[in-house]
């Protein structure tokens, strides 16, 4: 199977991180997870991350603030926000600050795979332009 890219999952629920890791690794992605949002910038650099799944609401950390930090650090990283507290306002705010898309929990595996593939296609186009 072709290696697709590196995905970073940032969520305060370890079980959710493991679930995404399992699904996305079966699709050919290399997946790194963390429940510590403070590690995200270091992991983006260390692991050469292409895509980030970022929880919108974590204890002691606001996902939008983290989204802004990620995009300031690397404007080309593709970020998908995840939340169990979805609303149109939340999605609009995330997109305003550079999120590629927004997905609400719970979601179907097929929906996750489709969204990840679309995000990876965008990232590949961006990488082609940067080379």
Per-residue pLDDT of the chain (131 residues; tens, 9 = 90+): 566 899 999 999 999 999 999 999 999 999 999 999 999 999 999 999 999 999 998 888 889 999 999 999 999 999 999 988 767 788 888 989 999 999 988 889 999 999 999 999 999 988 786 54
**What is the structure's pLDDT at 100?**
96
**What is the structure's pLDDT at 58?**
87
**What is the structure's pLDDT at 131?**
43
| Distance (Å, whole) CA 32 – CA 37 | 13
For residues 94 and 56, the answer to whether their CB atoms sit within 8 Å is yes
**What is the structure's pLDDT at 39?**
92
For residue 34, count CB atoms less than 10 angstroms from its CB and return exposed for 0-12, middle for 13-18, buried for 19 or more: middle
Of the candidates 33, 88, 97, the residue with the CA atom closest to the CA atom of residue 69: 97
What 3-state DSSP class applies to 51? strand
**What is the structure's pLDDT at 2?**
63
| Domain spanning 6-121: CATH superfamily | Response regulator (3.40.50.2300)
| Cis ω for the linkage preceding 102 (within 30 of 0) | no
**What is the structure's pLDDT at 27?**
95
Of the candidates 1, 13, 43, 29, the residue with the CA atom closest to the CA atom of residue 123: 29
Could you identify the residue written with the tokens 């690397």? 74
**What is the structure's pLDDT at 1?**
55
| Distance in Å from the first CA to the final CA of the chain | 24
Q: Where along the chain do its domains lie?
A: 6-121
pTM for the structure as a whole? 0.92
């Amino acid at each position: 199977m072709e290696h697709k890219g590196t995905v970073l999952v940032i969520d305060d629920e370890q079980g959710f991180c493991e679930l995404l890791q399992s699904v996305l690794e079966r699709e050919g992605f290399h997946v790194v997870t963390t429940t510590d949002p403070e590690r995200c910038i270091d992991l983006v650099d260390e692991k050469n991350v292409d895509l980030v799944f970022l929880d919108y609401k974590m204890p002691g950390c606001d996902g939008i603030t983290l989204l802004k930090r990620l995009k300031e650090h690397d404007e080309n990283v593709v970020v998908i926000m995840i939340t169990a507290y979805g609303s149109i306002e939340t999605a609009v705010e995330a997109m305003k600050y550079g999120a590629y898309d927004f997905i609400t929990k719970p979601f179907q595996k097929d929906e996750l795979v489709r969204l990840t593939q679309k995000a990876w296609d965008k990232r590949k186009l961006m990488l082609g332009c940067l080379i």
